[in-house]
Amino acid sequence: MKPSNLSYKLLKVSIHLFSFMPLGYMVFAVVTQSRLLGADPQEKVLHLMGVWSLIFLLVTLTLTPINRILKCPIIIRFRRAFGLYSAFYLLLHITTFFVFYLELDIAQLLEETIERPYITLGMLAAILMMSLSFTSTKAIQRKMGVKWKQLHQSIYLIGALAIAHFIWQSKSDLNEPLWYLIWLIFVLGYRLFYKYKTSQG
């Protein structure tokens, strides 16, 4: 059964409001100098922007399994939106690092990217993510054809790079990134299972 226009619009508004909540929280906490940011506000903002980028990326990957399991095709309409929100928070993550840690020093950014492997992985993920964002429109999808689908399958590689970046920079505290790794393994496992199941007829 197709959703009514009203229910679809309400769901759309709710999703966009939810997607801006992490940013709203950060802005409020920074403006009010809230204790929620802890002793190192810059580190907290950097961390949360990166985490929310990863969460939106994993949500994007999870929508297809949810649709196939629960038969809820309406959620697929928001796959592009969640992907773009992931790219948006990723840009905020990189901007926070570039502005507050490197003080807009491009040479230092290049040096850090080359010398620190976890930053190298993060930048590779960012480049791929921006490529997906810039080619996410229907017009570009039609123009690229099969190549568009091949490019956008790299979202799984982006997820792997992002989590490797997270684990590597976390050092001894691996509890949080491991939960996201389990999430990624689940969606990848489901994708492989579904592919095998359909190939068997």
In this prediction, residue 2 has a pLDDT band, given cuts at 50, 70 and 90, of low
Domain ranges of the chain: 5-199
When pLDDT is cut at 50, 70 and 90, the band that residue 201 belongs to is: low
Q: At what angle do helices 117-134 and 155-170 cross, to 10 degrees?
A: 150
Cβ contacts of 167 within 8 Å, gap of 6 or more:
174, 177, 178, 181
pLDDT tens digits, residue range 52-93? 999 999 999 999 999 999 988 889 999 999 999 999 999 999
161 contacts 39 by C-beta, under 8 angstroms: no
Distances (CA, A) of 7 to 3, 13, 17, 74: 6, 10, 15, 10
pLDDT score of 60: 97
Instruction: Dump pLDDT digits (tens) for 163-198.
Output: 999 999 987 788 899 999 999 999 999 999 998 888
Q: What is the pTM of this model?
A: 0.93
Q: How far is the C-alpha of 47 from the C-alpha of 197, rounded, in Å?
A: 39
137: phi then psi, degrees, rounded to nearest 5: -80, 155
Provide the pLDDT confidence category of residue 1 given band limits of 50, 70 and 90. very low
